[in-house]
Amino acid sequence: MPPSNPSFADRLITLLTEGGLRPADLASRGGVPLEVMEVCLRGELPDALSRYRIAKAVDVSMEWLVAGEEVRLPRDGLH
């Protein structure tokens, strides 16, 4: 059974609403099956590639979509 993350579904619903999209629209735009979108809307996390594709389709980071966190880069670069 996939891990559950209700907040993921909440963020996805917000993106759909704000973008005026139906789940089928986002599935098509992201190149994922509609069944994957339905799983996501139940709060289950899909595989990493599907999460990536959905995030790219709505121009948000995967970190934000999955965890609600903004991406932060190190101040002095990577060491």
Q: Where are the domains of the chain?
A: 17-67
Per-residue pLDDT, 3: 61
Class of domain 17-67: mainly alpha
Cβ atoms of residues 61 and 55 within 8 Å:
yes
| Distance set, CA 12 to CA 50, 65, 73 (Å) | 13, 7, 24
Per-residue pLDDT, 2: 54
Cβ atoms of residues 12 and 18 within 8 Å:
no
Q: Write down the pTM of the prediction.
A: 0.79
Q: At residue 79, does pLDDT exceed 80?
A: no
Per-residue pLDDT averaged across 50-67, rounded? Answer: 92
